Amino acid sequence: KKIKIKVPATVANLVCGFDILGMAVHEPYDEMEISISENPEIIIRHTDHYGLPEEASKNVAGVVLLKIQEELDLKHGFEVIIHKNIKPGSGLGSSAASAAGAAFGANILLGDRLSKEEIVHFAMFGEELASGVRHADNIAPCIYGGIALVKSSDPIDIIPLQSPDLFVAAVHPQVEVKTSDARQILKKSILLKDAVKQWGNIAGLVAGIEKNDHALIGRSLNDVIIEPVRSILIPKFDEIKTKSLQLGALGGGISGSGPSVFMLAEQEETAQHIAKMMKEVYDKIEIDSFVYVSKIN
């Protein structure tokens, strides 16, 4: 038996919700073909040339399947073919897509015996391999769809939220920002006054999402803790943000740990204008970039 699944890109953090909020988008997405093999081996193949490791223990999909095999005491293996469209290192949840896709796909092949929380549990081993941290803010929306709140990752407690009717413009500039480095530079402690501002924003954002209140979403997309530190890693971040707001974006910021930057807009046309502007900003300083206009998935 062989299945083929589409696995969406995800925007983690949603600006103020560091490690606890994430959103799946329609574009880009990976495709994965997964089958059960008679022998116990886990075989991973990529059809692209990103140079990702294929040895199961070094591959994010591979470690997830090894863990499933071990914990469920399976005698058979899996074969996975990954068509990767979400660029590794983009900050658009490329590793999460492979990890979540592997766990989700294996579950279907095993007769749908795992709960969504268990699928998240297994997929987090892939994120751990990729970034050293078992965060679930890309994995959860990838598996649940739309926007997900990771109330807790240990124990796993995921709250799926509404999907507001919004468009997403995103740019992936070709600069390298490793998640591990982007986490390393963060302050280990924060001021209470900043925490108060941040949880006001997170609560406002979640309320805005649930009520489909676009203005509330817009004024809650502020981050006083992570963005001021990380944005220095992303060339032209301030210019892109300022110009996006001028073009009518509700708000936005760094996608996950970067380098991609995303903006939310009410109209597709506005998102298209923002995407065009994003590309022009990077063209001007001769940094290649990819832009995406999408909907919340």
Interface with ligand HSE: number of residues (CB under 6 A):
12
Select the residue interacting with ligand HSE from 7, 9, 11, 12 (CB under 6 A).
Answer: 12
Q: Which one of 10, 179, 227, 266 is the catalytic residue?
A: 179
Place of tokens 């969406």: 8
Contact range with ligand HSE by CB under 6 A, out of 10-18, 41-49, 66-74, 282-290 = 10-18
Is 127:134 a contact under the CB 8 Å cutoff? yes
User: Contact between 130 and ligand HSE (CB under 6 A)?
Assistant: no
115 is in an annotated binding site: no
258 is in an annotated binding site: no
Nearer to ligand HSE, 13 or 198 (CB): 13
91 is in an annotated binding site: yes
Contact range with ligand HSE by CB under 6 A, out of 135-143, 147-155, 209-217, 243-251 = 135-143
User: In this structure, what are the phi and psi dihedrals at residue 67, rounded to the nearest 5 degrees?
Assistant: -65, -40
User: Contact between 257 and ligand HSE (CB under 6 A)?
Assistant: yes
Distance CA 247, CA 108 (A): 43
C-alpha distances in Å from residue 206, one per residue of 22, 120, 199, 203, 263: 11, 21, 10, 5, 17
57 is in an annotated binding site: no
Nearer to ligand HSE, 182 or 225 (CB): 182
User: Contact between 90 and ligand HSE (CB under 6 A)?
Assistant: no
Select the residue interacting with ligand HSE from 3, 6, 19, 33 (CB under 6 A).
Answer: 19
User: Contact between 13 and ligand HSE (CB under 6 A)?
Assistant: yes
Is 88:46 a contact under the CB 8 Å cutoff? no
Beta strands (DSSP E) in the chain are 2-12, 21-37, 42-46, 77-83, 147-153, 156-161, 167-173, 251-254, 261-265, 289-295
> Looking at the chain, how many residues does it have?
297
- Of all residues in the shown chain, the one whose CB is closest to ligand HSE is 256
CB of 179 to ligand HSE, least distance (A): 5
User: Contact between 183 and ligand HSE (CB under 6 A)?
Assistant: yes
The vertex-280 CA angle with 163 and 138, nearest 5°, equals 30
> Which residues does residue 30 pair with via DSSP β-bridges, in sequence order?
7
Total Cβ atoms within 10 A of residue 134 = 16
Helix, strand and coil content of the chain, in percent to the nearest 5, comes to 40, 25, 35
**Residue 179 among the catalytic residues:** yes
Nearer to ligand HSE, 135 or 241 (CB): 135
**Residue 54 among the catalytic residues:** no
Nearer to ligand HSE, 184 or 189 (CB): 184
Is 198:224 a contact under the CB 8 Å cutoff? yes
Distance CA 186, CA 180 (A): 10
Is 61:103 a contact under the CB 8 Å cutoff? no
Nearer to ligand HSE, 114 or 225 (CB): 225
Which residues lie near ligand HSE (CB under 6 A)?
12-13, 18-19, 135, 137-138, 179, 182-183, 256-257
Give the residue numbers marked as catalytic: 127, 179
